[in-house]
A and B are shown apart, each in its own frame.
Chain A
Amino acid sequence: DAKTTQPPSMDCAEGRAANLPCNHSTISGNEYVYWYRQIHSQGPQYIIHGLKNNETNEMASLIITEDRKSSTLILPHATLRDTAVYYCIVRAPNQAGTALIFGKGTTLSVSS
C-alpha cells in the first residue's frame, strides 16, 4: 500500500501557483519523497525528489516540513499543460528490487 495521502483533486487558475500537499506521517529516516506526474495516457514523468531540505529545479519546488511528515509540491506558474495526475511517493534509495508504490495521486486541473 502507498505510504502517502493526497487529496483526490485540485483546481488552479493558469498563471497562478499550484500547491499540492502530501502527507507521509510514517516516513522512515532514510526514505526520500519523490514526485511524479502523469499526463493522460502517457507514462509517469519524474519531477523532483528530496530528503529533508527544500529542493528546486526547473519544473517545481519541493517543501518538506521539519518533522518530514508532510510535503508540498509547488508549480510556481501553472499552465494548461500542467493538468495531470500528481503522485507523491516515499522510497528508500539504493535498495535492489524496490519499486515505486503509487497511490491514486491528485488530479490537478489547470484552467484559463
Chain B
Amino acid sequence: ETGVTQSPTHLIKTRGQQVTLRCSSQSGHNTVSWYQQALGQGPQFIFQYYREEENGRGNFPPRFSGLQFPNYSSELNVNALELDDSALYLCASSLTNEQYFGPGTRLTVT
C-alpha cells in the first residue's frame, strides 16, 4: 500500500469521447506524475505537476491535459479518445526522489 489512490479502477469509453481520471496523492506529497502503460510495455511519462503547475511533459499530444488541486490531488483529462488510448493509466506521487504509484485505471476505448 502506497497511500496513492486512483479512480475509477476500470472504465470503457467510445472513440471520440472524453474521459477524466483521478488521483489522490500520498499525504504531504506535492508532486504528481502521470504515466500511460500499453499492454506489454513499460509505463510512458505523460506529464508531471508540482504545486498545481505543470513542470514537465512527455511526448503526448495536447488532448492529454491535467490539473493539480491545492490538496495535491490530480486529474488527467483525455479528449477525443482514440483506440490507441486504451491502456493502464498510472499516477505517482512524490516529495523528494522516490515516486510511489497508485494501482492504476484501466481504460478501454472501443
A binding-site residues for B, Cβ under 8 Å:
2, 32, 34, 41-46, 49, 85, 87, 91, 93-94, 96-105
Contacts and interface: CB of A to CB of B under 8 A. Distances in A.
Given A44-B90, A96-B56, A99-B58, A104 B41 contact: yes
Given A49-B97, A49-B98, A93-B97, A44 B43 contact: yes
A73 B4 CA distance: 25
Contacts, number: 65
A28 B76 CA distance: 32
Given A32-B97, A49-B97, A96-B56, A42 B41 contact: no
Decide if the interface of chain A is mainly helix, strand, loop or mixed.
Answer: loop
Contacts of B48: 97-99
Nearest to B88: A41
Contacts of B66: none
A105 B43 CA distance: 11
